[in-house]
Chains A and B, each alone.
Chain A
Amino acid sequence: DSGVTQTPKHLITATGQRVTLRCSPRSGDLSVYWYQQSLDQGLQFLIQYYNGEERAKGNILERFSAQQFPDLHSELNLSSLELGDSALYFCASSVGGHNYGYTFGSGTRLTVV
């Protein structure tokens, strides 16, 4: 157990639907990062939050949004889902600095049918 908790582990939904992925960071970590892992795109950085505020943005689609709550858990919202959104979505956390590296959760596997 890495200390980063992601729910649900698996999600199957239909095109056009909206889903919410949840991440609880490791205790004491202030930064949360979201990544998408797919066979064709590899690991793509989506977005980072630090202590409730957006810190950096990557290749995140406009249909996707995220937030970090006062208790530091984070949610990634995916809407108007398309088949191509099927992927593993990872959350990672860190204290906030480079020196500590990331700790990854076990991911949420999203399948859009």
Chain B
Amino acid sequence: AQSVTQLDSQVPVFEEAPVELRCNYSSSVSVYLFWYVQYPNQGLQLLLKYLSGSTLVESINGFEAEFNKSQTSFHLRKPSVHISDTAEYFCAVSQREAAGNKLTFGGGTRVLVKP
């Protein structure tokens, strides 16, 4: 079985400040890792993913996440946030070799960017 823990349920941050959202996972096998973002009253959108190769992955809107196998973590960072980054962020994991490709999600971290 796999599980995901997002250590912070809410993160208030001022505009143009950096933010880090923490994600730890548990799995007995190799995994793929994802971050999704959910804006108010919308569905989830894929932000970035780690499948293999470089442990640092980036999104088109300035977010980056680093896969740390020894610490079983996949923290999400952005050096300077905008008001429009206000949303809920979900970390997710799926097993590399498993019937079906279901994602297991963390509980989410709500980011509130203040002016």
Contacts and interface: CB of A to CB of B under 8 A. Distances in A.
Contacts of A64: none
Interface stretch (B37-45, B62-70, B74-82): B37-45
Interface string A28-46: 0001010000000011010
Interface stretch (A13-21, A70-78, A79-87, A91-99): A91-99
B93 to A, nearest CB: 11
B34 A101 contact: yes
A25 interface: no
Contacts of A104: 36, 43-45
Contacts, number: 54
Contacts of A105: 43
A102 B103 contact: yes
B102 A56 contact: yes
A98 B45 CA distance: 15
Interface in B100-115: 100-108
B44 A90 contact: yes
Nearest to A57: B100
A54 to B, nearest CB: 9
B7 interface: no
Interface of A: 2, 4, 31, 33, 42-43, 45, 48, 50, 55-56, 58, 90, 92, 94, 96-99, 101-107
A98 B102 contact: no
Contact of B51 (A96, A98, A103, A107): A98
B99 A55 contact: yes
A31 B99 CA distance: 12
Contact of B102 (A4, A58, A96, A103): A58
A58 B96 CA distance: 17
Contact of A2 (B45, B96, B103, B106): B45
B23 to A, nearest CB: 14
A42 B106 CA distance: 8
Given A50-B100, A104-B36, 19 more contacts: A2-B43, A4-B43, A31-B101, A33-B103, A42-B105, A42-B108, A43-B105, A45-B103, A45-B104, A48-B101, A55-B100, A90-B43, A92-B44, A96-B101, A97-B101, A98-B51, A98-B94, A98-B96, A98-B101
